[in-house]
Structure 1
Amino acid sequence: METVIPLSFSDFPDDVQLCVLSFLRPSDLAAFSCTCKRFFSLYRHDQRLWFSMCHRRWGSKTLINKWVNGKISYKRLYGILEEYENLIGFWRRCGDTAAAASSPPLVFFEWGPFYITGSRVSPSKNRGYEVIKKPFLWMSIASKGEPVNYLDPDGKFALTEEDLLGESGFVENELIQVNVGFIGESHVVVEENLGFSGFRRGSSSGNLRGEEYENVYGSPPDKLMTEIYQHFANRTSPSGNGVSRRQRRREKEKQGKMRKWDPEHFVKIVNCSPKPARPLQGLWKGICDDMSLDFYLVSYDDVGGIACRKVGDSNKPLTCHAPIFWTSNLTFIESPFSPEEDYIYNCRLHLKPIGEADQNHDYPLSLDDGDVSRMLYINSSFDLVIPGTNVNPRQVEGRIWQYGNGTFGFGFLRDNFIIDLKHIARNGHLLDTIGPSDG
């Protein structure tokens, strides 16, 4: 008869324990550390444990040991990377600033080897599916361990590790040091850090939470005595209030002259990818009827409808027009289709980049190919059907044809073409990217 000897977790080798614990979240690990002094010490000080946790969570996306070359604890690095992780993905600019007139509204954040990169994304001008990717924001950790963020307005520099650590002797004033302020989980503010200038100086505040946002600048030491003097002068001088206001106005004017970059606000585009229950959801790209490339956002609302809009600034509700199409009926009609529906699909042209009309693509050219798996009825919101009016249904009615590879195309009965939508990103990476000089 075999004897079963019970083993406690402490009986396992250290490497096995570390491997098991690396699957936990910090909150779970903190609770586990209360079970004994050894595990409490492990939680508080063991670098091997926190490196394993960082590597398990982000090791496939970035080089954990390259972040400031281990000059800060991996426990602290875990907290910083966890905050950065919320940035990954697509954002769009909101608000009306000077930069809004000249820069694309769509921004994409992604992991680098030892930094986070924010890139502006815009359709190329070469009448193809390529998108222009122009890095403009770099976020990393300085040599002393504090988060530091640099803005490259013109997207001209490819930064090195020495640059981000401030050790390269990079020419000052080429880049702008900024604060990246998190307001909740879906709103980010990029604002110039006026307390510092040049590329090689450290950041005082790093990434800020919403409650810290109003206190970005602080008071440099050389202003302290001036502020104390003004405080007592205002209490004794009859005209003190006016002097104080004029002084504050002069300081604001001075700050305005020093500012190189107006604050930019970005809101996160959530649900950027399709899901089994929401197969059309996400950010897509397609050739429009004027043969230019554009970006489309398809979203499912809380009342069971679908709407598609072109991507734009949020102060223009994603576009200056109403949604391109919408539907409140999510019931797909499965293939095979009726002869009438076959005709509606087959008599329309697929919009394609110039010069690619005769090439094979991921989407089908005929229902006979069997690649259209199902269909959905839609309406155009430019011509909403109002009950009691005599609107021609062919002016507002349309179809979505979903293909076997998960992409889809849409068209309206009033038109003779189909706009086929393709993925703009896959597995966290932009597809068909080119540089600004190529587009």
Structure 2
Amino acid sequence: MEVKFQDSDETVFQSSFSDFPEDVQLCILSFLDPSELGSFACTSKKFVSLCRDDQRLWFSMCDRRWGSCTHLKRWGRGKISYKALYRILSEYENLIGFWRRCGITTTASVNSPPAPLLFFEWGPFYITGSRISPSKNGSYELIRSPFLWMSITSKGEPVNFLDPGGRFEFTDDLLMDSEKQGYLENELIQVNVSFIGKCHVVVEENLGSFEFGRMPSSGNVRGEEYQNVCGSPPDRLISEIYQYLANRTSPGGNGVSRRQRRREKEKEKHGRMRKWEPEHFVKIVNCSPTLARPLQGLWKGICDDMSLDFYLVSYDDIGGIACRKVGESSSSLACHAPVFWTSSTTFIEPPFSPEEDDIYSNRLHPRPPAESYHGEDLLICSDNGAVSHILFINSSYDLVIPDLAGTTTNHRQCEGRIWQYENGTFGFGFLRDNYIIDLKHIAKNGHLLDTREPCND
């Protein structure tokens, strides 16, 4: 492998990759991904050992990619290889961001109240998932409740705890304290998080749950080690079969089945036997606006009834824009329709006509009570700055459900406008209404805005 350099005099120097110091070689290799690194290792026997350097090369690869997001040396209690950690974090990385619950929920009553959004983010040695709900006090605040905690054991096995009530506080001290791990298992539910491609995950109860730091085994609720009553089985497979049958079918089972039944009765006594129905979540891609797509992404807005709703605006491949509310897939057919749509992304540039100025200025903006003047809930002016662009839109009724548009034949009643403001946000409204719903960001730079812990709303 040769590398070419060119100085200011345009003199070209050639040097072999092997001529570089080993530290320089490792630094260069840390920019490769695992598949590229595997191809490079095939070029020479000398480079095989270099590509296997876990403490220097694979740590540098992990640190370059996730060092600013999480504490690498704390994952798996620092006892797993960085090569294994790279593979695990590569899979977990796809979780970061917003997901929405999909399908008609069959969640049991003990589960947390359905919330439309799930937000994953990095922790020191874990990933946390929080349910995001609209506030009920007429403000732009988001209610953020704990939902899922994901990490790995010292053997690199996944361990995931789910908080069905949404009120458990995960702390580093609690998660690292081995004496409190039994408390976690009693208060929370161990679940499996199954990846179906990159944009679909399923959260379901782990019926073969295990203690934090122990390998799971069939039929063993707490990962308790079995006593060998008939000698050493010939291999691991036979051992697992024996343990399963001893636990499930043996009259005595050397006390194992009795202990398990006793634990189950104790859990039933304290109401701790929980059944978590699987929940499916779909990732929300392109959840932030861009220069080419300024309306794209997740937004929040206060409606005319002073309730907060979440809106997802997406661009299609043929130049159209559609906006839908988030989290209404289990509602009636009308909720599947877009809130607004347009087949053209061409904005009207200022100066605007007197008619357009009149359409905007004569409409109210639902505002939080704290931002109202003289105790009024609706303000005529907006605090988002002057209108910089205008876009024509239509309501969903013309497109999807004509009967819901009413008996009027005036097509103009279904027309509307998007008013883009100078600060990058926008509002929308229809000519049949006298108000504008101003939309604000839910998150910026990967951080949630205007969040608070659950309370009695």
TM-score with structure 2 length normalisation?
Answer: 0.78
Q: Determine if the alignment matches structure 1 residue 152 to structure 2 residue 163.
A: yes
Which whole-Å deviations, capped at 9, do the CAs of 1:304-327 have from their partners, x for residues lacking one?
A: 321111111434489735211111
Runs of 4+ in 1 over 3 A off after TM superposition: 1-6, 160-166, 197-205, 219-229, 313-319, 363-367, 383-386
- 1:386-397 matches, cutoff 5 A: 391-397=409-415
Contact 1:364/1:403 (<8 A) preserved: no
Amino acid aligned to 1:122: S
Tell me how far apart the structure 2 counterparts of residues 4 and 284 of structure 1 sit (CA, whole Å).
54
Contact 1:50/1:75 (<8 A) preserved: yes
- 1:62-101 matches, cutoff 5 A: 62-95=70-103, 96-99=105-108
Tell me how far apart the structure 2 counterparts of residues 421 and 292 of structure 1 sit (CA, whole Å).
13
Task: Check 1:127–1:48 CA distance in 2 against 1; reply closer, same or farther (3 A cut).
Answer: same
Contact 1:425/1:431 (<8 A) preserved: yes
Tell me how far apart the structure 1 counterparts of residues 432 and 59 of structure 2 sit (CA, whole Å).
60
SS at match of 1:62: coil
State the match for 1:238 in structure 2.
none
| Percent of pairs with identical residues | 69
Which whole-Å deviations, capped at 9, do the CAs of 1:360-405 have from their partners, x for residues lacking one?
A: xxx99479x973221110011134497xx97213310100011122
Amino acid aligned to 2:394: N
State the match for 1:345 in structure 2.
360
Tell me how far apart the structure 2 counterparts of residues 308 and 266 of structure 1 sit (CA, whole Å).
20
State the match for 1:266 in structure 2.
281
State the match for 1:55 in structure 2.
63
How far apart are 1:4 and its partner, in Å?
6.7
SS at match of 1:31: helix
State the match for 1:19 in structure 2.
27
Contact 1:176/1:197 (<8 A) preserved: no
Unaligned runs of 5+ in 2: 1-8, 219-239, 251-271
State the match for 1:248 in structure 2.
none
How far apart are 1:198 and its partner, in Å?
6.0
Tell me how far apart the structure 2 counterparts of residues 158 and 275 of structure 1 sit (CA, whole Å).
35
SS at match of 1:334: coil
- 1:231-380 matches, cutoff 5 A: 260-316=275-331, 320-358=335-373, 365=381, 371-380=386-395
Segment of structure 1 superposing worse, 289-298 or 98-107: 98-107
Q: Determine if the alignment matches structure 1 residue 107 to structure 2 residue 118.
A: yes
Amino acid aligned to 2:348: I
Tell me how far apart the structure 2 counterparts of residues 92 and 423 of structure 1 sit (CA, whole Å).
17
TM-score with structure 1 length normalisation?
Answer: 0.81
How far apart are 1:298 and its partner, in Å?
0.8
> Aligned residue pairs: how many?
394
Amino acid aligned to 2:412: R
Q: Determine if the alignment matches structure 1 residue 174 to structure 2 residue 187.
A: yes
State the match for 1:408 in structure 2.
426
State the match for 1:118 in structure 2.
129
Task: Check 1:336–1:318 CA distance in 2 against 1; reply closer, same or farther (3 A cut).
Answer: farther
SS at match of 1:65: helix
Please provide the CA RMSD for this pair: 3.3
Contact 1:141/1:165 (<8 A) preserved: no
State the match for 2:209 in structure 1.
196
Contact 1:147/1:203 (<8 A) preserved: no
Tell me how far apart the structure 2 counterparts of residues 160 and 390 of structure 1 sit (CA, whole Å).
58
State the match for 1:432 in structure 2.
450
SS at match of 2:50: helix
Tell me how far apart the structure 2 counterparts of residues 102 and 319 of structure 1 sit (CA, whole Å).
23
How far apart are 1:102 and its partner, in Å?
2.3
Which whole-Å deviations, capped at 9, do the CAs of 1:334-363 have from their partners, x for residues lacking one?
A: 11111111111111122211120359xxx9
State the match for 2:49 in structure 1.
41
Choose the corresponding residue for 2:440, options 419, 422, 427: 422
State the match for 2:14 in structure 1.
6
Task: Check 1:2–1:297 CA distance in 2 against 1; reply closer, same or farther (3 A cut).
Answer: closer
Unaligned runs of 5+ in 1: 206-218, 230-256
Task: Check 1:120–1:22 CA distance in 2 against 1; reply closer, same or farther (3 A cut).
Answer: same
Contact 2:365/2:380 (<8 A) preserved: no
